[in-house]
Amino acid sequence: MKLRIINPNTTHGMTQTIGEAAQRVAAPGTHIVATQPDAGPVSIESHFDEAISAVGVAEEIIKGERDATDAYVIACFGDPGLLAARELTRAPVVGIAEAAFHMATLISTRFSIVTTLGRTGIIAEHLLEQYGFSQHCRRVRAAEIPVLDLEENSDAALERIIAECQRARDEDNIGAIVLGCGGMADLTETISREVGLPVLEGVTAGVKLAEALVGLGLGTSKVGDLAFPRPKRFTGQFEHLSDWQPKR
């Protein structure tokens, strides 16, 4: 199967980290294509960043549809553009926050999230409520590091993340920790050793869920609100989308 991992930001190093983490857990026969939009924010740390990046996610789905893609993973913990992406394809589309929440509940009755900034932690709280996982999450914690520190100041960032995970272990009465950023995809083993709890993140969880959906022959329903968008004319910088036709 061909699995397209979409990093919604435009930082190549993070796309590479995400792709390598995905490849490590992929089943034999799963071909990972790690990609990012041509334009957009270099990191996603606000509702505004998410809104801009969602356009790039949609365009990456359209590219994937031309390339016979079997499933997609949106590798940002805000799951930007997730429902719009699902409208554009029959293939499964998995957001990494939703994937991580599901996986965490399969191994623990309570988990905490450790993310980058406090403001993005609020976005994670919104997603917990939207997806129905609020009762499973004890606390959303922030290491208070900019996303790009994961690439540019990685040792110091890792220290702060580990320290926050240790506080979560000691204070939150939890069984597992979810890392709340796609850029943390390569940190789970290191952090789990330090804190003595299962630590998971959404990129690798998303890969395995996407593989499972394809293996079960399940794709995005085209009945109801996730049906293909109605054809219409777009103007200005989005005029090129007027010619797009879904793969039926």
The percent of residues in the chain predicted with pLDDT above 70, rounded, is 100
The whole-chain average pLDDT of the chain stands at 95
CA distances from 90 to 61, 62, 85 (A): 11, 12, 10
Predicted pLDDT at 243: 78
Question: How large is the average pLDDT for residues 210-215?
Answer: 98
In tens, the pLDDT along 50-76 reads 999 999 999 999 999 999 999 999 999
Going by C-alpha positions, the residue among 82, 74, 101 that lies closest to residue 178 is 101
User: Looking at the predicted structure, is the pLDDT value of residue 206 above 70?
Assistant: yes
Q: Compute the average pLDDT of residues 193-198.
A: 96
Q: What CATH code would you report for 97-202?
A: 3.40.50.12500
Q: Is the pLDDT of residue 113 over 70?
A: yes
Q: Are 33 and 16 in contact (CB under 8 A)?
A: no
CATH of domain 2-95+205-243: 3.40.50.12500
Token pair listed for 151? 């690439």
Comparing CA positions, the residue from 209, 199, 193 lying closest to residue 93 is 209
Order across the sheet with 137-142: list the strands: 137-142, 111-115, 176-180, 199-201
Name the 3-class secondary structure at 95.
strand
Average pLDDT for residues 94-118, to the nearest whole number?
Answer: 97
- Output the pLDDT for position 180: 95
Count other C-beta atoms under 10 Å from residue 2's C-beta.
16
Identical topology for domains 2-95+205-243 and 97-202: yes
Residue 156 has pLDDT above 70, yes or no: yes
Coil, strand, or helix at residue 36?
coil
Band (248; pLDDT cuts 50, 70, 90): low
Res 152: pLDDT: 84
Q: In this model, does residue 247 exceed pLDDT 80?
A: no
Beta-carbon contacts of residue 73 (< 8 Å; ≥ 6 apart): 3, 4, 5, 6, 22, 93, 94, 95, 96, 99, 203, 206, 207, 210
25 pLDDT higher than 70: yes
Query: Is residue 80 scored above 80 in pLDDT?
Result: yes
Q: Which residues contact 64 (CB under 8 A, 6 or more apart)?
A: 4, 33, 72, 89, 91
What's the rounded mean pLDDT across residues 204-229? Answer: 97
Mean pLDDT confidence for 15-43: 97
Which tokens belong to 53? 């990046």
pLDDT band for position 244 (50/70/90)?
A: confident
Average pLDDT over residues 12-30: 96
Model confidence, pTM: 0.95
Task: Tell which residue, 160, 156, 173, 109, has the closest CA to residue 135.
Answer: 109
pLDDT digits (tens, 9 = 90+) for 121-134: 999 999 999 999 99
Mean pLDDT of all residues in 170-199: 96
CA distance 61 to 128: 25
pLDDT above 90 covers what percent of the chain?
A: 92
Cβ proximity of 127 and 79 under 8 Å: yes
What residue segments make up the domains of the chain, in order of their start?
A: 2-95+205-243, 97-202
* Sole residue written with tokens 């976005």: 123
**What is the structure's pLDDT at 40?**
96
